[in-house]
């Protein structure tokens, strides 16, 4: 830890011996060489702030800048917090890290200069229009007689839900219109109506993944035991170690149809996300979620003549399809990469580049299928960047990584599926053998 000016510390309100709060262990985050006291700060994003404490060896400079790029309020709140200023400025692990992060800062400035962070409302309108067209097609197919058309409709409505997932994800990152209150409402509408889920709950979980991808007991995308284990110490590191070795043995086969499509969706829609709404009294989000359970099956019944509950059952089949589509594709970009031990910390750039992968970033079809989440490395470096601009940035990123000694990984779509299921199968075999 770098030395601090005592005068600077006291003048900025950090607790001292005369303060009744002094006995309470203080928590700090370090940003640009200044340590901010967040002990009593209620972070709007939840407990993710604890991932960046200086006591863990973390520096939050890039994390804060990238997550709060579009938030004036975040910067004002930061200035208001008690602080202590390091006499020597920011503390780097070594000279190599300092050079890397300085190069990253320059790289970001170039991208900003060239307009890669500028939003485009017409693109958002096009995305929303696409979703409206898919939903309308799904209802039209449902209105036609015959099981074949009903099956095609369910698949189409499943695609609608999944693509609502892509749009809401971008809204959660404030990269649609660039106006945070607009983007968050777009997110709430489409995750609510399209997936019956809560935007705030999504953001709370997803930001933890972004902050420390593939870090054990930190990345929420790895906190999946006993349903699925993505690495060979997952059960030992989990709070509850009970598991079925037979379930683990076949987890590669159950991951999509059972774990992703059924268990996760049921848990999210009937417990985890409604609980978040009730705790926060977020009735706007609750109404959008309720509309998924009522308006969608009502419209299906209206165009088909089937009963409401029949349509509600088929609506759930479409959500089953959407769950497999979404969680299957989300897993492709990082679950098979190396994990980071819970007592280790890497900087923002190394976390993104070495623990996520890009997938066919120059293929327009893959970009559409994966909602630009195939540009995962770029997205982790710049979460506020409009995602349709990421394929072009991936070209520049490859050069940046080569110049700075980083291993940038870009693989094919089918290779990503192969690696994901190979990893699931190998980890499953490991726990089956271990018992």
Q: In DSSP terms, which residues pair with 28 in a beta bridge?
A: 37
Distances (CA, A) of 144 to 74, 131, 151, 160, 221: 51, 20, 11, 18, 40
What does residue 410 show for φ and ψ, rounded to 5 degrees?
-130, 125
Would you state the pLDDT for residue 407?
A: 96
Distances (CA, A) of 262 to 269, 315, 327, 379, 414: 11, 13, 11, 28, 24
pLDDT at 336 over 50: yes
Three-state DSSP class for residue 24: coil
Least confident segment among 76-90, 347-361, 364-378, 391-405: 76-90
Whole-structure pTM value: 0.91
Least confident segment among 192-206, 225-239, 315-329: 225-239
List alpha helices for 16-94, DSSP H: 61-67, 72-80
pLDDT digits (tens, 9 = 90+) for 387-430: 999 999 999 999 999 999 999 999 999 999 999 999 999 999 99
Helix (H) or strand (E) holding 423: helix 413-434
- CA distance linking residue 114 with residue 106, whole number of Å: 12
- Contact (Cβ atoms closer than 8 angstroms) between residue 292 and residue 381: no
Tokens representing 421? 């299921």
- CA distance linking residue 339 with residue 216, whole number of Å: 7
**CA 365-369-373 angle, 5° bins:** 105
Three-state DSSP class for residue 255: helix
- Contact (Cβ atoms closer than 8 angstroms) between residue 184 and residue 171: yes
Three-state DSSP class for residue 170: helix
- CA distance linking residue 177 with residue 391, whole number of Å: 19
DSSP annotation of 374 reads T
Above pLDDT 90, what percent of the chain?
86
Would you state the pLDDT for residue 7?
A: 36
- CA distance linking residue 392 with residue 362, whole number of Å: 8
Looking at the chain, the domain(s) classified CATH 3.10.120.10 span 6-91
Would you state the pLDDT for residue 142?
A: 98
Task: Mention every residue, 6+ apart, whose C-beta is less than 8 A from residue 73.
Answer: none
Q: What is the dotted CATH code of the domain comprising 6-91?
A: 3.10.120.10
Average pLDDT of the chain is: 92
Above pLDDT 70, what percent of the chain?
93
Would you state the pLDDT for residue 434?
A: 84
- Contact (Cβ atoms closer than 8 angstroms) between residue 220 and residue 205: yes
Would you state the pLDDT for residue 241?
A: 66
- CA distance linking residue 119 with residue 69, whole number of Å: 13
Least confident segment among 9-13, 69-73, 166-170, 326-330: 9-13
DSSP annotation of 4 reads B
- Give the other-Cβ count within 10 Å of 48's Cβ: 22
- CA distance linking residue 372 with residue 386, whole number of Å: 10
pLDDT digits (tens, 9 = 90+) for 248-268: 999 999 999 999 999 999 999
pLDDT digits (tens, 9 = 90+) for 225-242: 999 999 999 998 876 668
pLDDT at 12 over 70: no
pLDDT at 13 over 50: no
């Amino acid at each position: 830890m770098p030395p601090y000016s005592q005068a600077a510390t006291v003048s900025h309100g950090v607790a001292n011996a005369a303060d009744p709060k002094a006995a309470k262990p203080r928590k700090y985050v370090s940003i640009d060489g200044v340590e901010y006291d967040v002990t009593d700060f209620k972070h709007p994003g939840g407990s993710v702030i604890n991932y960046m404490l200086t006591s863990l060896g973390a520096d939050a400079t890039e994390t804060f800048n990238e997550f709060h790029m579009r938030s004036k309020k975040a910067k004002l709140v930061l200035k208001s917090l008690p602080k202590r200023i390091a006499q020597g400025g920011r503390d780097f692990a070594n000279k190599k890290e300092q050079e890397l992060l300085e190069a990253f800062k320059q790289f970001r400035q170039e991208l900003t200069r060239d307009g890669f962070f500028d939003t485009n409302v017409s693109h958002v309108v096009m995305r929303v229009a696409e979703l409206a067209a898919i939903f309308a097609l799904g209802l039209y197919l449902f209105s036609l007689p015959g099981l074949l058309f009903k099956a095609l409709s369910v698949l189409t409505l499943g695609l609608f839900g999944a693509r609502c997932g892509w749009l809401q994800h971008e809204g959660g990152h404030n990269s649609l219109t660039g106006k945070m209150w607009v983007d968050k409402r777009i997110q709430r509408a489409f995750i609510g109506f399209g997936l019956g889920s809560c935007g705030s709950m999504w953001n709370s979980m997803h930001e933890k993944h972004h902050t420390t991808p593939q870090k054990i007991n930190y990345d929420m995308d790895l906190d999946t035991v006993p349903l699925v284990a993505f690495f060979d110490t997952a059960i030992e590191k989990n709070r509850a170690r009970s598991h079925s070795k037979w379930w683990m043995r076949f987890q590669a086969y159950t991951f999509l149809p059972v774990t992703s499509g059924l268990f996760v969706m049921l848990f999210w829609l009937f417990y985890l996300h409604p609980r978040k709404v009730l705790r926060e009294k977020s009735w706007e989000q609750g109404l959008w979620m309720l509309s998924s359970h009522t308006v969608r099956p009502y419209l299906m019944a209206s165009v088909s003549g089937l009963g409401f509950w029949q349509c509600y059952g088929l609506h759930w089949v479409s959500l089953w399809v959407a769950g497999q589509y979404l969680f299957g594709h989300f897993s492709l970009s990082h679950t098979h990469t190396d994990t980071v031990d819970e007592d280790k910390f890497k900087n923002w750039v190394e976390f993104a580049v070495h623990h996520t992968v890009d997938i066919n970033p120059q293929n327009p079809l893959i970009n559409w299928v994966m909602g630009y989440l195939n540009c995962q490395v770029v997205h982790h470096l710049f979460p506020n960047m409009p995602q349709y601009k990421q394929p072009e940035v991936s070209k520049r990123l490859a050069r940046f990584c080569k110049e700075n000694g980083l291993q940038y990984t870009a693989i094919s779509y089918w290779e990503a599926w192969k690696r994901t299921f190979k990893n699931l199968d190998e980890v499953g075999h490991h726990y089956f053998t271990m018992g």
